[in-house]
Amino acid sequence: MRFHDPITHLRSHLTKPELEQMRNTALSIAGFAAALIIFLAQSKGQPSFSTVALWASIVSLLAWLFGAQYISAYLVHSEKTYSHINVYLSALIGIVGYMSLFIAVVATVWQISVSAALFLMLSGVVLGACVFFHLRAVERICNEQDA
């Protein structure tokens, strides 16, 4: 079955293991953000401290904790609720969570080495574009197989 609506297509792939993986990923990334906050708290007043990194880490932590709880509600209430997942909200959580954590890491590296931070920033943008184009290619293959 070929899906003309990408949201319906995404929802058709949601299974309990997929949602569990999403929740576990969100909790893992939240843990990384919390570790970065602890590092920044310990380095306040040191050359590696960055206020931008601190706030970006806080935003990331909150986004991923919210995301984990958002998905957990669907896991508790079983597959009959999966079709009601707000894919736009889920995507927004992911974008905010990843981008803010990326900003936090770049800001922290910036305090240590500007050239390393610029390399990280550029590499991150290139890798993000590669992931996006790869995702689009996989979606096309999936649609061809569903046709």
Please compute the mean of the pLDDT values over residues 61-81 and round it to a whole number: 91
C-alpha span between 69 and 50 (Å, rounded): 29
Q: Go through the chain and tell me how many residues it has.
A: 147
67: left (phi over 0), alpha (psi -120 to 50) or beta: alpha
pLDDT digits (tens, 9 = 90+) for 3-50: 566 667 677 778 888 888 988 999 999 999 999 999 888 888 787 778
What are the two backbone dihedrals, phi and then psi, of residue 50, each rounded to the nearest 5 degrees?
Answer: -140, 120
Report the distance separating Cα 11 and Cα 22, nearest Å: 14
Classify residue 45 as left (phi > 0), alpha (psi -120 to 50) or beta: left
Please name the amino acid found at residue 10. L
pTM of the complete model beyond 0.85: no
Q: Which of 32-46, 69-83, 121-135 has the highest mean pLDDT?
A: 121-135
Please calculate the CA angle 134-127-112 and round it to the nearest 5 degrees: 165
Cα(79)–Cα(134) distance, rounded to whole angstroms?
Answer: 28
Domain range list for the chain: 6-146
